[in-house]
Each structure stands twice: as structure tokens, then as C-alpha cells.
Structure 1
Amino acid sequence: MSKEQTKALTPEKEGRPELGEVEGILLSQATCNEWQRIQSFQARPDDLLICTYPKAGTTWIQEIVDMIQQDGDLEKCKRAPVHRRHPFIEWARPPQPSGVEQAEAMPSPRTLKTHLPVKLLPPSFWEQQCKFLYVARNAKDCMVSYYHFQRMSKVVPDPGPWHEYFEVFMAGK
């Protein structure tokens, strides 16, 4: 399925995001518009970057990591919603603060997260020799979970019918 066909699955009338492309990877157009800023993001040596494919257990691992970092103190873990404690570096949905803005405002050490493929990570994560926590999940489980998530959430593209979604997913789109 082409970029144009995939875009057709995201009707603006439903408030779903428009799509753009960076190095062959489909991303929200808002993320594409912020791409220079994302790529110039300055990681710090004590940053921890949680790297996951969507619906692979991102929230679970964030909560586990936070619980470890807070020495098991549940009250400290309730200090803010998980998306504020560990912002997505590629998050861009104006007028909300971008993930880069949120991360830049955080004190060290920071725990950040991303769904970006490794080739699209800001170079500073490598230059600063940051720690990475990679989480993988069975691709079939991710596909089914992501399909249902996309059906109910308006912040991601509409998946269309299952048979089309399956083909798009298998093509890596």
C-alpha cells in the first residue's frame, strides 16, 4: 500500500493525524514537521531510552523502570502520569508541548521513550553513550493489539479493514 493509500485511511474529519514520511518510515505529519528539532535533540550521558515497537509493552516497562528508580515507593511513582515522567522524544501534537520540549525541561537522570526505529534515533544518544532498554514482543501479538488500539484511538491512523491492515503491517508500513 502506498503512502497516499495509507493517508486515505486517515480521514481528517475524524480528527486522526495526517501522515508524513522520514527515510521511508511513516510518522505523523506533526512529527515530520518537528524532525529537525528531534534529530538535534541533545541526550545526556545518564539518559535511559526505552525503545519499543508500538503495543509491545511500553507502559508496562515504564512502570517497572520507574518503580525500580523510586526504590519501590508507590507514592513517588504516582507523582505524574507516565507520559509526563517518560516523554516520547518524537511526540508532536500542537498545541501540547513536544516530547523534545518535555525532555529538555526534565532534570537528570531522565528516562525517555521512543517507538522510532534505530536508524532514526537522534545521534546524540549514541554520542553520549546512553543506556538503551529494548523491549520486544511477538509480532503477531503486537499486530493484533495495535489494530484494536488504532480502531479505538483517534490519535493514530484508522487501520481500515483487518485484511488491508494485515497486508500493510506485513509490508512494514
Structure 2
Amino acid sequence: MELKWDGTERMTVDYVKGILQPTPTCDSWDQIWDFQARPDDLLICTYPKAGTTWTQEIVDLIQNEGDVDRTHRAPTHVRFPFIEWIIQSIGSGLEHANAMPSPRTLKTHLPFQLLPPSFLEKNCKIIYMARNPKDNLVSYYHFHRMNKALPAPGTWEEYFESFLTGKVCWGSWHDHVKGWWEARDQHRILYLFYEDMKMNPKHEIRKLGEFIGKKLDDSVLDKIVHHTSFDVMKQNPMANYSTVPAKVMDHSVSPFMRKGEVGDWKNHFTVAQNERFDEDYQRRMAGTGLTFRFQF
């Protein structure tokens, strides 16, 4: 398809089966839905700003047994095709994925019900990373501010409402984490938590390695922990999205890798917002068995 969006204006959005998406994704939806997974594909899935790039970097280092030079071969978005993402200056994740030799590691933000069926038909391994919704909201708000490939977020107060009602790209956080949680026992899905990875990275990376099929010794695990720490990744041009054109992502507005903390929501939420969020969260997450940590 012809990619008309050039970054001079904000990306427009539309709906795919009730889920808000950038317009180029909507326009290419039939091809995305028909995407043909391969049995040895590994898919990394997250709600936006839930530790996606972090997970990708960890997985790449696991697959390359801690060889940092190998992971510096290309920027994140080149190493991991983002299957539903189409941007003129970056290209089509779908085309990139189709051209990539196996074994492929791919990325998506799609909720479970919009996942192209071939991933499940081929019994692909899927890694899902979930982050507590308050920090996720804050991170997504700042990402909207700096990323013209998403709609303008409006004020903090306006964005808070949009997030709470699920009127943001890739839909409701609550529905997203619940949908993948409910699917985890029927499919080859490893469900991880951002806060666990922050608290005990070595333990979680070992778990990831076992899922992928790589048994790593302690020295390699320690090396991966170091190279995927926030401060190291923030300085890594192959992981910090600094290679993306400034007309798409303006790091002077807010860096792509901003804080990576647990509990930063306290610097943004008012008391009234927090009470309202908690009440909504309790109602919508009741009976799921899903628990999140909002601070350490």
C-alpha cells in the first residue's frame, strides 16, 4: 500500500473491531489478520509502554547467549518486525516480517482477540509482558507527547480519561492484560510482569531463557542483566529509538526511555484521580486472579 503519512501532522486513527488503531493499520487490516506465522516464530506481545523494548533486548541477548555485538547489529524496530505497524519513514512491519528468514522474533501490541490466527494455529511461543496500569498510563502519556505516529494526548487530565475509558490506541489496558491472562493456559504463552523483572531481573531472565530453550550460565545471565539495565539501554542507540527520524519521535519533548521506574505514577496522579482509578480498577479486575504491584 502507499504510505501517505509523512510525520508533518499527527497520525490519524480509526477502529478495528472496536479497538482504536493508527489509520495505516486499519487500512492494511486484512493483510495483518492473514499474516502467516511460522512454527518457529517467537512473538513478544505487550500493551504499549509495558516494557516492550526491554523484553526485546533481553530476548535478543538470550538468543545470542550474551553476545552484545550481535545485538548491536541493527535498531530494535529492524531486529523485531512490529507486525501491525506501518510508517512511511520506517516501513511496514508486515513486509519486513515476511521478508525475514526464520527463526523470526516478532512484536505486536494487539489484544488477544485481534491476534492473527496463524500464531495459534502454528502453536508459536508467545511472551507477554504486563505492567501495572498506573505507571503504564504515565509512560504512554509521555510517549504520545513525543511520538507523532500517535494522536496528540491532550492535557494530562484529558489523557487520564482516555486511558480509563480505553479510548487509546490498542484499546483498554484492562481488557488487554485480562485477555492474554485468560489465554495463557490454552497456548504457549509465558506471562511476565514488569515489576518482577525490575525486582529480580536475573530470576526472570532465567525463566525467559528456559521458555525460549536456552540454558544460560550465571556469568551470561549477569551480563544480560547489566546490558538490559535501564541506564545502559538508555545510552544504547540500537535500543533507545534515537535512530528513528526526529519528525516521528521527538526526544526533546520526552525521551523514548524516560524513567523505567515502578511508582512514578505518584508524581502525576492527583488524590482524586488515584481514588477514581482504584475504584475502577477494583471493579474491572475483580475475579481475574491478576495482581499488580504499584510500588516497592
Asked if TM exceeds 0.5, the reply is yes
Correspondence list, 1:1-173, <5 A: 15-94=9-88, 96-173=90-167
Q: Structure 2: which 5+ residue stretches go unaligned? A: 1-5, 168-296
Runs of 4+ in 1 over 3 A off after TM superposition: none
Partner letter of residue 55 of structure 1? K
Partner letter of residue 86 of structure 2? A
Contact conserved, 2:44 with 2:106, CA < 8 A, in 1?
yes
SS at the partner of 1:101? helix
Distance 1:71 1:13 in 2: 37
TM-score by length of 2: 0.53
Go from structure 1 to structure 2 and tell me whether the alpha carbon gap of 1:95 and 1:34 turns closer, same or farther (over 3 Å shift).
farther
Larger Rg: 2
Go from structure 1 to structure 2 and tell me whether the alpha carbon gap of 1:13 and 1:99 turns closer, same or farther (over 3 Å shift).
closer
SS at the partner of 1:154? coil
Deviates more, 1:131-140 or 1:155-164: 155-164
TM-score by length of 1: 0.90
Distance 2:46 2:97 in 1: 18
SS at the partner of 2:91? coil
Distance 1:96 1:64 in 2: 23
Go from structure 1 to structure 2 and tell me whether the alpha carbon gap of 1:13 and 1:118 turns closer, same or farther (over 3 Å shift).
closer
- Work out which structure has the larger RCO, using CA pairs closer than 8 Å and 6 or more positions apart in sequence: 1
Q: Structure 1: which 5+ residue stretches go unaligned? A: 1-11
Q: Percent identical across equivalent pairs?
A: 62
After superposition, the CA RMSD in angstroms is 1.5
Distance 2:149 2:91 in 1: 15
- Cα shift at 1:162: 1.3
